[in-house]
Each structure stands twice: as structure tokens, then as C-alpha cells.
Amino acid sequence: MPQPARPRPPAPWVPYPGNADPSGLSLLVFPSLHSRALRNSRDLLVALPPTYATSERRYPVVYMQDGQNLFDPATSFAGDWHLGRTMADLAAHGVEAIVVGVPNAGRRRIHEYSPFRDSRHGGGGGDTYLRFLADTVKPLIDRSFRTHPGREATAIAGSSMGGLISLYALYRFPSVFGAAGVMSPSLWFARRAMLGYVQRSATIPGRIYLDVGLQEEPTAVADARVLRDILVTAGREPGRDLEYLEDEDGRHAEEAWGRRFARALPFLLGYSRTGPSDSS
């Protein structure tokens, strides 16, 4: 059976040249997007869902940190998330989104992914990085593709330090992001400053997916449980605007995060156990 034609990428987007297996998705690259504030450049990755080429629909968007780890084992730190396969499997059940992979900046990763400064590890560039996402990356994506641009259809997600900055993004840029995927977050950073920040902050409307692997450090599991309790105390309701998962076999690794993303993505997009949810 012939495969449907893939959409012609808008200039200067080009087809991804690597060895990724996007499982029928269209995987595109924007070469060397520059940030004057961050003083660096990076390639952006975009995965378009299977029906994008044959419909006129607009799609929700998920912005993901550590973008080089999502699709291609050749560029991943330690095995990729197999995200193309996950997106294709979910699409078969009607769950589709545009996924934007924002690669990290190598040695600048901790600086960009940390909203607070750590006395040992430095950091503190999170606000500048998120302004780059909000003011440069998101407008580019909305111009280039058929997106639902509103916050209710815009999620941000990541793991480890990427999970930390994704949680912060929901509180710091509530007009931009309406959901956050917070996978094995590095809550230890800056003496657990994020826990205090969330506890002091007003509850932001939107969905939070939070998880941790039980094969991770015991302190990471304890911190995730503290964050869960803070969110519940602040009024979030599990199953409505909070999803919490402890993965019995989960390690602090790409394989575990990729496997769990099959559960995270539907929740971030507003799907309940039976279908789309109206909560935002």
C-alpha cells in the first residue's frame, strides 16, 4: 500500500538527515537557530504527526528539552527515547501532537536548565533560556506549522534537569505553557530551591505530569513525593490536573523516560482515561 505523501517542509526547514526511525512521522530540522541572549545556536527538531500531511487540522505542540536524545541513537547521550515509535503508536489511538525537540547546549546545559544558582554547580540561566523558547522558538513553530498556539494546547516537557526547567516554565510563563511533563526532575539542585518556589507560588491552571523511577536514588524518590504532596496541598487533583507515577523498574535513563512518555503525552494533551478532557 503506498505511503501518504509527506508535507513539503517550509523553508528553511529540511528533512532530518540522520539515522532516526521516525516510524512514519515527518522529522524536520531548522539548522542553527541563533539566540543572541544565550549567545549560541542549535538545530531544532520537529516531528509532525502521521495525519499532518493529509489533513488541514491544527495540532497541539509539546516543546521538549534535550532534543538530541529523542529520536536518534547517534546523537543521544545514552540511548534515545524512541519517540517516533511512541508518537506513531499513540497516533493510531487518535493522540497526536507536534513535538519540538530543543537540543541542549552541551556544557551550558545546566546553566540553561536551572532557574536558580547552585553554589557548587553554578547555573541560573533558566529565565533567559525560557525567554528564548517563548519569544523565538514558539513564534517560529507557529509560523511554520499548523499549530494550536494557545497555552491550553502548548506543553513543555523534559527529564532530569530538563524536567526541572519544564516545571518552572509552567509557573514562570503561564501565558505560554498550559502543561508540564516533569520526568525524574533534579529537585536536589540549588538545595531543593524548586520545592520552595512551587510551595510559595500561586497555583497555575494547567496539567502537571510528574514521575520518578524507583531504581533512582532514594533521595530523588523522596523529593518527587514531597513535590507531589506540595502540588496536592495547593489544590491539584490527581487524575484531573496532576498525574503522578512511580516506575518500579525505572532508572535515571533515556530508556525509562521514553517508555513512560507514552503515558505522559496523552495526559499533557488533556486526554482522560476515556478521551479528551476539558481541563486546562
- How much is the pLDDT for 98? 98
Q: In the predicted model, what is the mean pLDDT of residues 247-266?
A: 97
pLDDT band (50, 70, 90) for residue 79: confident
What cell does 257 get? 523516560
Whether 206 has a pLDDT exceeding 80, the answer reads: yes
Identify whether 97 is part of a domain: yes
pLDDT band (50, 70, 90) for residue 10: confident
pLDDT band (50, 70, 90) for residue 48: very high
pLDDT band (50, 70, 90) for residue 279: very low
Identify whether 277 is part of a domain: no
Burial class (CB in 10 A: 0-12, 13-18, 19+), 42: buried
Identify whether 1 is part of a domain: no
Task: Tell me the pLDDT of the chain averaged across its residues.
Answer: 92
Q: In the predicted model, what is the mean pLDDT of residues 62-75?
A: 92
Identify whether 236 is part of a domain: yes
- How much is the pLDDT for 18? 76
**Angle at the Cα of 259 from the Cα atoms of 189 and 164, rounded to 5 degrees:** 20
Whether 4 has a pLDDT exceeding 90, the answer reads: no
Q: Which residues of 151-179 are buried (b: 16+ CB within 10 A; e: fewer)?
A: bbbbbbbbbbbbbbbbbbbbbbbeebbbb
Identify whether 278 is part of a domain: no
Q: In the predicted model, what is the mean pLDDT of residues 13-26?
A: 81
Quote the number of domains for the chain: 1
CATH number at residue 177: 3.40.50.1820
Identify whether 174 is part of a domain: yes
- Answer whether 49's CB lies under 8 Å from 25's CB: yes
Identify whether 2 is part of a domain: no
Among 15-29, 244-258, 260-274, whose mean pLDDT is lowest?
Answer: 15-29
Whether 7 has a pLDDT exceeding 90, the answer reads: no
Q: What confidence tens digit (pLDDT) does each residue in 128-187 have? A: 999 999 999 999 999 999 999 999 999 999 999 999 999 999 999 999 999 999 999 999
- The domain in which residue 123 lies consists of 15-268
Burial class (CB in 10 A: 0-12, 13-18, 19+), 216: buried
Whether 2 has a pLDDT exceeding 60, the answer reads: no
- Answer whether 160's CB lies under 8 Å from 252's CB: yes
**Angle at the Cα of 268 from the Cα atoms of 262 and 274, rounded to 5 degrees:** 75
Identify whether 203 is part of a domain: yes
